[in-house]
Amino acid sequence: MIEITNLSKAFTLHNQGSAVIPVMAGAALAVAPGECVGLTGQSGSGKSTLMRMIYGNYLAAGGSIRVGDLDVARAAPREIIRLRREVLGYVSQFLRVVPRVPTLDVVAEPLLQLGVPVDAARARAADLLARLNIAERLWGLSPTTFSGGEQQRVNIARGFAHPYPALLLDEPTASLDAANREVVLGLIEEAKARGAAIVGIFHDEGARDRVCDRLVDVTGFTPRLAA
């Protein structure tokens, strides 16, 4: 479902002496449907960079990133938009929403984008919010004022609203208590069971051991520094 070959990336800082910083070379990764692959490596080793490249958020310098039948490294913006809407979900660590939109609609939005009727989309959103222990009295409020843990759970609900065939999870269990962590791990296991291909970053080793079928250390993709 996800297949990365010979991927490379460098940042060019035009306003800081045009410094070129190579951050990735020769990256390769394959994730089959129903499989969860955990990315490991020290902070700064490129886990998030790799994930952002799969999502099309960072541009690739070379190589290919196939998600389904689309090569994200070469796709036109609108093909990526379509891919994100229908095929590839992403739970980032930060919730970014239009202020003022009620939580229920924030979670239902990915479904509305797909043309799901409002009632059905809201019902699915309500199910997920209830499961993730977001109190019902908060559903009508904007999540911008919520606590960190609540925002993260709203973000997770939003990421799982549509059954994406491929999912990227960036620290989905960080800052959650034991009960909510359990709910999130359950959601991940269900997604695997229905055949989703998942790439995840987990600092929580217990969670990693439980849901990941394989680990890939991204340190191996860090370019050797030229002397």
Check residue 32 and report its DSSP letter.
-
Asked if 112 touches other proteins (CB under 8 A), the answer is yes
Asked if 126 touches other proteins (CB under 8 A), the answer is no
Asked if 69 touches other proteins (CB under 8 A), the answer is yes
Check residue 140 and report its DSSP letter.
T
Q: Which x/- pattern, by CB under 8 A, does the window 149-188 give for other proteins? A: ----------------x-----------------------
- Answer for which of 26, 34, 40, 82 binds other proteins (CB under 8 A) is 82
Q: Residue 103 is inside which H or E element, if any?
A: helix 103-113
Strand 88-91, strand 214-217: pairing: unpaired
**Please, are residues 67 and 55 in contact by the beta-carbon 8 Å criterion?**
no
Strand 88-91, strand 166-170: pairing: parallel
Asked if 113 touches other proteins (CB under 8 A), the answer is yes
Nearest CB to other proteins, comparing residues 132 and 164 = 164
**Please, are residues 47 and 218 in contact by the beta-carbon 8 Å criterion?**
yes
Here the tokens at position 13 are 């800082």
Asked if 71 touches other proteins (CB under 8 A), the answer is no
Asked if 52 touches other proteins (CB under 8 A), the answer is yes
Long-range contacts of 105-108 (CB under 8 A, 24+ apart): 106/142, 106/143, 106/154, 106/158, 107/154, 107/157, 107/158, 107/161, 108/161
Asked if 215 touches other proteins (CB under 8 A), the answer is no
- Answer for which of 26, 34, 68, 223 binds other proteins (CB under 8 A) is 68
Asked if 1 touches other proteins (CB under 8 A), the answer is yes
Asked if 2 touches other proteins (CB under 8 A), the answer is no
Binding residues for other proteins (CB under 8 A): 1, 11-15, 52, 56-59, 68-70, 77-82, 86-87, 96, 98-101, 112-113, 165
